[in-house]
Amino acid sequence: MHGRPRNPSKPEDEAASAAKASKLRALQSQFLNYHHSRNFDKEAVEISAKLLETNPEFYTAWNYRKLAVEYFLSQPGSDPESILNEELRVVESALRQNFKSYGAWHHRKWVLSKGHSSVDNELRLLDKFQKADARNFHAWNYRRFVAALKNIADEDELEYTTNMIETNFSNYSAWHNRSVLLSNLLKQKAEGYFPKEKILAEEYDLVHQAIFTDSDDQSGWFNHLWLLEQTITKDTPWLNSSWPASDSELIISASKSASGCMVSSSARYSTDGGTIPVILYFNQSVRGVNSSTVAVRSSLAESKDIIWRPLSVDKYESAQAWVALLNFSDVPLDYSIAYPVEVRVGDSSEIISLSGSSLSHVFEFKFVVRFQQHDSGEADGQNLEVILWEDSNFQKYEMDSGESNLFSLFNQLQIDADQAGVDSKWKVNILANEIELFRELSAADCKIGKLTLARLLTALDKIVSESSTLNSSQMVHTEEVMALYCDLMKMDPPHSKYYKEEHSMALLRQVTCCKDSLSRYCWHYGKIAKTNNESFICVRLNSLSLARIGSIENLLWVQMLDLSQNELGSVEGLEAMQLLSCLNLSNNKIKSFTALDPLRHLKLLKVLNISHNKIGEHSIDSTRYLCSSSLSHTVANDWKLGLSSGDVDQLTKYWEAYIIFRDLTLTQLEITGNAIVDEDFRSFLRKILSTLEWLDGTIL
């Protein structure tokens, strides 16, 4: 097992094993005959018991015994206690054969849930099994079940875990049970378990004993990671950022058709049918965002008519980013006045996280919308020239160039200091103490020590940044964090992908942490006509070896983004960047159209470059099976577009591409350099993208 060679079996052992298997097959055959005929007489039930005592993993036999028990209980004059106690005896015998049997433990729960059996003996039985294997997670799971039946206080169970851990620090199951119990007590603010910082400090001391007793054991490290999450995670959901930025001014160039472009102090945004997107970006996935829970006050739109849409929704119908469209197409516009818009989030407790916590603070932001007469000579937001991503087409953005400040768009909500920093002091103190402790382990080339130190430094930067003003926030430990992940990539190649992604996230936190830092990655694109004497701004994050996208909350305002020459395998997160109109993903490691699924949400996207990736190299897209996706495995019924048989064949062949591109209004697409691309595929793209003007640098 686990790479160790098996000892050669002896002939007598093989003979015994064959005889046992033959006996078991005969027993199974006899049992199945009874089961199929619904025979519940004494002999049949005894056969099932013998079978389970020999092979507790035979699930069909457990199901049979459930049917038998229901049958016996339904008989007149039956004795429920006697019937169910016999089941408990059978389960106990089966567990002695294999005390990690899922079926046996589930059956025992089922018997006790009937309510006719005493649970007093259950803890004594558990003690026996936990002496045999103190880490048996089945027994710990069953213990939680029994404790709930007996109404044992969480405090008493927590004390039990303390005793078990002190007996053996390597008891991962005891640590896990402890975290479950402690989470409940902290959430309830039970007596003796408040304030939170006092309890967490005591837990850190306990886990230190485990880690420094045996730094190679994983149990203590896992619990330390849990403690770190408890330290840095806000107890309730939090609105991280929004767009439009608070106190910003938007200028809409509107025609009679209410289409045009939205112009900020130094950037230009296409609108979609006379609408303004409003984006809410939370620190975690939430549900319950709707016109009743988010108040929008404006003469441009009625709050009750505004529909909030989740981006990248999960199976719980929650999302981290939500968007709504303010539709001004039916509003009689007055070009001489400003239209104020106020958005208020948090008055309702119905916005809740996956853990069930409600948004506990009120978040507000305001912006102003002005309209100007649309110049019919303008291009209506259409690109008359092909967008070229070569370096020669970009000029460095200078903060002191005399232009209006681009970073009026850079927005993290300005939350009152009493809200944002009320508990940051104790968190900073705890993290600083932990960092001092783990620097020693990191220096000793301990892999998990280096990883923990990187996480601690990242957490400290995050806490300090959140309690600072936006202009002064800095990720001061970024260089050290990235160096740690570089060391880990060399020390632990099997997990290098994870370390690479964490390295990318650290780099992006540093890039986007403040205006000064982000301005170094901002460029003027010279090929797009200037508006109000200000040119198109592109955020260039190319050639940074990024393996993952992050810090999206600071990039909601971006309309032109260059992510070329990186190592991205997916574009998860980009769906929140609703203003994005030009995107360069060339020369990355994207292997399928499934990985581009977030792009379907970018309704303003006009220019897309996905050339020189790996799309089509693999005939089977394994990401469909590894993660949830809105992509189906069959041709959808709504694909029946009255096409010819040849077109239908193309749809069937390129259905993944169709799902990604069908709702986009691209004017320019570059896709050359992917294995899937040939003349047939280009022909298909021209059919489904009716708005396309440029394909692989050629005008259509």
Task: Give the DSSP per-residue string, 316-368.
Answer: TS-EEEEEEEEE-TTS---TTSEEEEEEEE-SSTT-EETTSPBP-S-EEEEEE
Low-confidence ranges of the chain (pLDDT < 70): 1-15, 254-273, 303, 374-384, 399-423, 467-474, 527-535, 619-647
Domain-ending residue, one of 206, 232, 258:
232
354, 320 contact by CB (below 8 A) = no
Cβ-based neighbours of 383, under 8 Å, separated by 6 or more = 528, 606, 607, 667, 668, 693
Residue 38 shares a structural domain with residue 116:
yes
CATH code of residue 86: 1.25.40.120
Identify whether residues 166 and 301 lie together within a single domain: no
Same domain, 137 and 84: yes
Q: What is the distance between the alpha carbons of residues 614 and 611, in angstroms, rounded to a whole number?
A: 9
Instruction: Indicate if 114 and 194 belong to the same structural domain.
Output: yes
If asked whether residues 56 and 113 sit together in one domain, one would say yes
Query: What pLDDT, on a 0 to 100 scale, did the predictor assign at position 279?
Result: 95
Instruction: Let me know: does 500 contact 489? Beta carbons within 8 Å.
Output: yes
Same domain as 272, residue 151: no
Residue 212 lies in a domain: yes
Q: Is there a single domain that holds both residue 227 and residue 170?
A: yes
Of 322, 356, 386, the position where a domain reaches its end is 386
Identity of residue 264: S
Within a domain: 565: no
CA distance 235 to 305: 32
185 and 38 together in one domain? yes
Q: What pLDDT sits at residue 181?
A: 93
| Residue 174 covered by a domain | yes
Predicted pLDDT at 468: 61
Residue 383: its pLDDT value, please?
46
Give, in order, the Cα–Cα distances in Å from 232 to each of 452, 502, 503: 14, 17, 19
Name the nearest CA neighbour of 341 among 370, 363, 320: 370
DSSP secondary-structure letter at 377? T
User: How many domains does the chain contain in total?
Assistant: 2
The CA-based dihedral angle spanning residues 172, 177, 178, 179, taken in that order and rounded to the nearest 10 degrees: 90
Owning domain of residue 270? 239-386
The reported pLDDT for the residue numbered 312 is: 78
State how far the alpha carbon of 48 is from the alpha carbons of 34, 38, 80, 281, 633, in Å: 9, 13, 19, 57, 42
> Among 212, 232, 252, which residue terminates a domain?
232
Let me know if residue 433 belongs to a domain: no
pLDDT score recorded for residue 332:
82
506 found inside a domain: no
CATH number at residue 293: 2.60.40.1220
Distances (CA, A) of 469 to 124, 242, 404, 506, 638: 57, 16, 21, 20, 50
Beta carbons within 8 Å of 186's beta carbon, 6+ residues apart: 193, 194, 196, 199, 230
Q: Does 111 map to a domain?
A: yes
| CB distance 559 to 580 below 8 Å | yes
Is 325 inside any structural domain? Answer: yes
Same domain, 134 and 184: yes
Find the length of the chain. 700
Residues 228 and 247 in one domain: no
Residues 217 and 248 in one domain: no
Domain shared by 156 and 287, yes or no: no
Give the amino acid at 366.
K
Q: What are phi and psi of 630, to 5 degrees?
A: -80, -5
Residue 200 lies in a domain: yes
Residue with tokens 């809409």: 252
Q: Which residues pair with 286 in a beta bridge?
A: 319, 353
